[in-house]
Structure 1
């Protein structure tokens, strides 16, 4: 398929190279012609100098036949305007914009444009490398408000109901990996040994939730 990339920074150049390796045709747009020096010597796609939200520039880049568009410049406003033009004016099906501000990302997500909130995603990537397994998030929504993570648990929770775990921690159990299979638990589902429990939680509550889960459950009468 044909893909148009707006922004030839490190991300744009890397994305162009990856798409070309997958045998897609690629056009890269950047307002600074010097930016194309970041492209590999093996890149044989199209380079178009100009603003990524300019219709004539996008037309020159082949937006009319493009099946995907990525806006990855270093400016939030330019990225979202370009993405909206690609989606709303040219009808490109697969459009994504890189956004640094997580609050903006949430707004644009509601407009139907998938966004990559760079700061939260990068933070989570570092946490996966820095923290013990199971503490970092597996997924975070574009606004950074909700996270999904594997919950590190005290062995004393084995035999407890999902309802009791959720009540004690204040989280929502999203799914369980059990013997290699995904399970959507019910409130009365019992935690078994070797279960990997994945939860959804609000950002800012994860530390407290994990601390509670790593203690044995309190006995109830």
Structure 2
């Protein structure tokens, strides 16, 4: 899947590198080409110099094929405009923007643009918002190192038994939510369309589990 990141500062470069490492196609936009030095040397994505809300620049970055867009430059106004262009002009569904002003953030959340403020502005949370699996890490126990992940599996997992899924990915399923109702006993059942699965796994394996469930079986390696 393709992602566009506007802003190659500390967080933007971290987000871009993390997506690139997971095998996604990534394009990074920054008005200052020197900012691309923050990207790792082995970064395989595009580096595009330009204004992040310029339509021609966005098209060059592949916005028309983008699954997600992150506007994480240093300016609220720039991020707001870029996020609106990505969502309203190009129809990108998964858009997240760094907006420090809480009043603005509330407005744009209502318009469907996920916002990250000063206190919560981390690369991990930005990745949470735009990854295709719609996953969230709900809790991590500091003593055991076990994390609980809320995730909607890729459609390719529909019909696969939960027993096979847990064995294949070496995870435990705490429960699922199906048609708005929690189901505690999934033994003998299979994944159905729109199931939301609550998975328990070691903290060190969260990224791998999310990556696997966000892709069709056979594509997770």
1:205 corresponding residue in structure 2:
none
2:60 corresponding residue in structure 1:
60
2:28 corresponding residue in structure 1:
28
Asked if the contact 2:98–2:121 (Cα under 8 Å) also holds between the matched residues in 1, the reply is no
1:104 to partner: Cα distance: 1.5
Q: Mapping of 1:106-121 within 5 angstroms?
A: 106-119=106-119
1:31 to partner: Cα distance: 0.5
Over 3 Å counting, the alpha-carbon distance change for 1:60 and 1:101 in structure 2 is same
2: CA distance between counterparts of 1:101 and 1:27?
27
- Which SS does the other structure have where 1:5 is aligned? strand
Asked if the contact 2:4–2:63 (Cα under 8 Å) also holds between the matched residues in 1, the reply is yes
1:78 corresponding residue in structure 2:
78
Over 3 Å counting, the alpha-carbon distance change for 1:120 and 1:41 in structure 2 is closer
Give the TM-score normalised by structure 2: 0.54
2: CA distance between counterparts of 1:88 and 1:119?
27
1:27 to partner: Cα distance: 0.1
2: CA distance between counterparts of 1:120 and 1:112?
18
1:204 corresponding residue in structure 2:
none
Q: Mapping of 1:1-150 within 5 angstroms?
A: 1-119=1-119
What are the Cα deviations for residues 35-65 of structure 1, in whole angstroms up to 9, with x where unaligned? 1011000101101101110000000001111
Asked if the contact 2:69–2:95 (Cα under 8 Å) also holds between the matched residues in 1, the reply is yes
Larger Rg: 1
- Which SS does the other structure have where 1:95 is aligned? strand
Asked if the contact 2:105–2:115 (Cα under 8 Å) also holds between the matched residues in 1, the reply is yes
- Which SS does the other structure have where 2:119 is aligned? helix
- Which SS does the other structure have where 2:20 is aligned? helix
1: CA distance between counterparts of 2:120 and 2:67?
27
What are the Cα deviations for residues 71-106 of structure 1, in whole angstroms up to 9, with x where unaligned? 000111111110100000001111110111222211
Can you give the 5+ residue segments of structure 1 that lack an aligned partner in the other structure? Answer: 123-179, 182-221
2: CA distance between counterparts of 1:107 and 1:87?
15
What are the Cα deviations for residues 139-178 of structure 1, in whole angstroms up to 9, with x where unaligned? xxxxxxxxxxxxxxxxxxxxxxxxxxxxxxxxxxxxxxxx
Matched residues, number: 128
Over 3 Å counting, the alpha-carbon distance change for 1:121 and 1:71 in structure 2 is closer
1: CA distance between counterparts of 2:99 and 2:27?
21
1:152 corresponding residue in structure 2:
none
Asked if the contact 1:102–1:117 (Cα under 8 Å) also holds between the matched residues in 2, the reply is yes
